[in-house]
Amino acid sequence: QVPRPGPLQGPPQPAPPTRRRGDITTAIIIVLAALLVAAVVLGIVRGHGDSSDAAPSSVPASSASQTPTPTPTPTVDERTQALDNLNDARSRSMQNLVLNGRWVLQLDSKYEGVYDPQQTTANGSHSFGLPDIYQHYQDLASYAGSKGLHNILLLKATDFGTQVALPADTWVTLADPGGIDSYEAGLAVCSTLYPTLSGDDLLNSCMPRQLSQPHS
């Protein structure tokens, strides 16, 4: 039997060249080196950009302008302030004061340290210091004003009228409404000011007196 020829085959092809492992390793190293160089360059560029945007350095504290510390205002103690206020009120009352014997209403008479069982201070005490006396004068002026009596005087007991054995710095609050021609008429006005008081209680809060020259 004659054998059949097999399929035609071309000439043998050369085998593809094989890559050596060393070439691949070298390529990887080159790529990594390139990436490393790129990262370094990028970092340098960013660093320069940040430094250009940095805020200017602050002025040293020694060269900065210093705000001067204000000198504290000396405080005046409460008693001294009250005494000044009382003297100021008395000075105003003494201006153009005419001591002609007219009837006025004495609303208060107190000296420093006096004990008044019928009246109390703002803190509930019956002993009156100068701040209490000045506050009482202001309260009386406000109350009398609400009743239509606006001419309120503050004098010392030695400034007018009958002189009695009282300390020289006895502060007297007076209402001078005018038109009072007798003790009884003055007492009637007092009753209008303090309608709930009578007798000694009324006289302790409002008493008619004559505004005359000081005399014994």
Q: Amino acid identity of 59? A: V
If DSSP codes are grouped into helix, strand and coil, which group holds residue 61? coil
Give the other-Cβ count within 10 Å of 173's Cβ: 24
The string of pLDDT tens digits covering residues 105-145 is 999 999 999 999 989 999 999 999 999 999 999 999 999 99
What is the reported pLDDT for 101?
97
Percentages helix, strand, coil for the chain (3-state, rounded to 5) are 40, 15, 45
Mean pLDDT of 133-162: 96
Quick one: average pLDDT of 17-30? 60
The dihedral region occupied by 164, where left means phi > 0, alpha psi between -120 and 50, and beta the remainder, is beta
Please give the Cα distance from 25 to 197 (Å, whole number). Answer: 119
Residue 84 above 60 pLDDT?
Answer: yes
* Predicted structure pTM score: 0.65
The answer, yes or no, to whether residue 7 has pLDDT greater than 90, is no
At 166 the pLDDT is 86
* Pick from 43-47, 78-82, 180-184: least confident: 43-47
Please tell me the total number of residues recorded for the chain in this structure.
Answer: 216
Domain range annotation of the chain: 78-211
